[in-house]
Amino acid sequence: MDLIPWLPIVLLAAGLLIGVLVEPRRFGQGIALTLLAGIVASLLLVRVGDTLNAAGGNEATGYLLLGIFLLMVLGVALLGLFLVVNAFTMWRREGLGPAPRISGLAGLATAVYVVAAVATVVLDLQDLVPLLLLVGLPAAYVAFLFVSFLSYSLLYVWFSNRFGRPVDAVIVLGSGLAGGERVTPLLAGRLRKGRQVFERSARSGRQPVLIVSGGRGGDEHLSEAAAMSRWLTDDGFRGPLALEDRSTDTAENLEFSAELIGEERRAGRVAVATSDYHAFRAAIIMRKAGIRGYTVGCRTARYYWPSATLREFIAILLEHSRFNLVVVGLLCLPLAFYIVNVVTSAFS
C-alpha cells in the first residue's frame, strides 16, 4: 500500500490531537476534524473505486458515485424539509421568535435549491447550471462551517459530560423564567446537570461552590438566580450556593460569576452547566474570559434542539463576522460577475 497519500492525514490528525489536548474550546478544532474526515472519506472512496474497477470495470465505479450523489441530494432535501417542519413545530409551541424563523428560512432555502437542481437535471435546463454552481459556492462554505460546528460540538459535549474531571466551582447558566418567576423544564435540566457535577466533585474530596447565574429580565418578577436558588433549595440541595443576579447574557454570566468564585477556586478548574446546544459556544466564551475548565450540557427537547443549534451557529459566525463576510463576499464575486454578464448580454 502506498503510504504517501496518508501522510497529510497523519499530520492533520496529530495536529488536531495536540490542539485538543492544549485547548479543546476552539472552533478551529472542529474545522480540522471535518477536514480530516473529508480527506479520509475521499481516500477510502478512491480505494473502493480502484477495487470495483479491477472487479467489474468503470461502470461499477460510476454506479457507486451516482449512488453516493443521489444519497447526498436526498439527505439535503430531507434536511430542508425537516427544518421547515421543525419551524412550524417551534412556532406552535414557542411562538414565532427568532429560532423558528431561522430554521424555517434555512430549510426553505435548502429545499428550493435542491428542487431547482433536480429540475435542472430532469428538464435539461443547461442555462441554470452555472447559476446553481455559483450560488453553491458561498452555500458550501457556510455548510462546511456548520458541519464543523455540529460535529465537534456534539463530540465536545459528549466527552465533557462523560469524562469531565472534578472541579472547584460549578456555574449554572440561567434562561428565561415561566410566568416571570418559575423555573422552566429547560432551566431545571441545567440545574440538575450542575448539581450532578457538583456532587461528583464533592465526592472526589474537593469543596466546590455552586453558582447560579442570571439577572432579572424586563418581564420577570425576580432574578433568574433567585428562582434557580429557590428551586435547588426545594429540591434538597444544601451545599455552598452563591447567586449572581446581574448578568444579561452568557459573557456577563461568566464574567460576574468569576468574581464570586474567588481567586483560590478560580485558579483551579470550573465547570459551566448549560443546555447541550449551547455548551460549545459557552465553552468558547469561557475560554475568552480566561476561565479554566469545561462546559457540560443537559439534554434539550427534540423539537427545540434544531432551531436552537442553528441559532448558536449563527452567533458563532457573527463573532467572526469580518472574516466570514470577507470569505462569503469573495465567493459571491463569480456569481455577481455572472449576473452582470447575463444582464449585459440581455440588453446588448
pLDDT, tens only, 194-227: 999 999 999 999 989 999 999 988 788 899 999 9
Structure letter (DSSP) for residue 172:
E
**Cα–Cα dist 78/74, whole Å:** 6
What integer pLDDT is reported at residue 192 of this predicted model?
A: 96
**Cα–Cα dist 256/241, whole Å:** 15
Q: Model confidence at 99, in pLDDT bands (50, 70, 90)?
A: confident
pLDDT value at 67 more than 80: no
Distance (Å) of CA 177 to CA 38, 227, 274, 308:
42, 8, 15, 17
What integer pLDDT is reported at residue 50 of this predicted model?
A: 73
This prediction's pTM: 0.89
472574516: which residue's cell?
323
Distance (Å) of CA 86 to CA 30, 105, 281, 314:
26, 11, 22, 17
pLDDT value at 31 more than 90: yes
pLDDT value at 159 more than 60: yes
What integer pLDDT is reported at residue 252 of this predicted model?
A: 94
What integer pLDDT is reported at residue 2 of this predicted model?
A: 60
What are the grid coordinates assigned to 275, written together? 443546555
**Cα–Cα dist 282/174, whole Å:** 12
Cβ atoms of 168 and 197 closer than 8 Å? no
Long-range CB pairs of 19-26 (<8 Å, 24+ gap) are 23/287, 24/156, 24/159, 24/283, 24/294, 25/156, 25/280, 25/283, 25/284, 25/286, 25/287, 25/294, 26/284, 26/287
**Cα–Cα dist 339/108, whole Å:** 23
Instruction: Render pLDDT for 33-61 as a digit per residue (tens, 0 to 9).
Output: 999 998 888 888 877 777 777 766 666 66
User: Would you say domain 164-300 falls under CATH 3.10.450.50?
Assistant: no
Cβ atoms of 185 and 193 closer than 8 Å? no
Instruction: Render pLDDT for 309-348 as a digit per residue (tens, 0 to 9).
Output: 999 999 999 988 899 999 999 999 998 998 888 888 877 7
Summarize the confidence of residues 159-185 as an average pLDDT: 93
Choose among 127, 131, 98, 87: nearest CA to 113. Answer: 131
What integer pLDDT is reported at residue 91 of this predicted model?
A: 82
What integer pLDDT is reported at residue 191 of this predicted model?
A: 97
